[in-house]
């Protein structure tokens, strides 16, 4: 637990949170400033700053919880869709440095747009550059 982390404080019960799921390694609660009714945050119960740092024995329950809460949330607020996203790191706009997956219910004509709307101009990459990037990602995994 990090003493100055708001999400650690919610998991510990030190500050109130509208908890919707408590598992062995994962907790989920309502976002305090929701983008839509039913906006849920899924977090590892132990303080972890970035998705990259998520413990191996936490990864499955993390995704299983998202998988479970997507239909539950849609049903609860009668939403036909959800946007599911992680802002991973400062440059991506992560404001709370404790991993959290947003599950945001979406409605027709809610003006949210697709996640592609976050970006402006897209890079114009040649086939060779795309091949290089794919090679580099494969190499980085091994």
Q: Is 94 in the site for ligand 5GP (CB under 6 A)?
A: yes
Q: Which two tokens stand for residue 15?
A: 């500050």
**Selected range binding Zn ion among 23-31, 41-49, 57-65, 67-75, rule: CB under 5 A:** 41-49
Rounded to the nearest 5 degrees, what angle is found at the Cα of 72, between the Cα atoms of 70 and 77?
100
Which of the choices ligand 5GP, Zn ion, none does residue 95 contact, using the CB cut-off of 5 to 8 A by kind? ligand 5GP
Write phi, then psi, for 39 (nearest 5 degrees): -65, 115
Q: Report the distance separating Cα 28 and Cα 19, nearest Å.
A: 6
| Interacting residues with Zn ion (CB under 5 A) | 2, 5, 7-8, 47, 98
Summarize as ranges the residues that interact with ligand 5GP (CB under 6 A).
6, 17, 29-33, 87, 93-96
């Amino acid at each position: 637990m990090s003493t100055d982390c708001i999400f650690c404080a919610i998991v510990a019960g030190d500050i109130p949170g509208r908890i919707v799921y408590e598992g062995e390694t994962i907790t989920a609660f309502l976002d305090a400033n929701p983008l839509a009714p039913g906006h849920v945050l899924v977090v590892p119960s132990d303080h972890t700053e970035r998705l990259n740092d998520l413990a191996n024995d936490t990864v499955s329950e993390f995704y299983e919880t998202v998988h479970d809460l997507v239909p539950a949330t849609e049903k609860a607020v009668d939403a036909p869709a959800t946007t599911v996203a992680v802002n991973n790191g400062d440059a991506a706009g992560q404001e709370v440095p404790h991993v959290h997956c947003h599950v945001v219910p979406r409605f027709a004509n809610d003006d949210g747009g697709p996640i592609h709307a976050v970006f402006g101009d897209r890079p114009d990459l040649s086939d060779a550059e795309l091949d290089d990037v794919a090679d580099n990602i494969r190499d980085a995994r091994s």
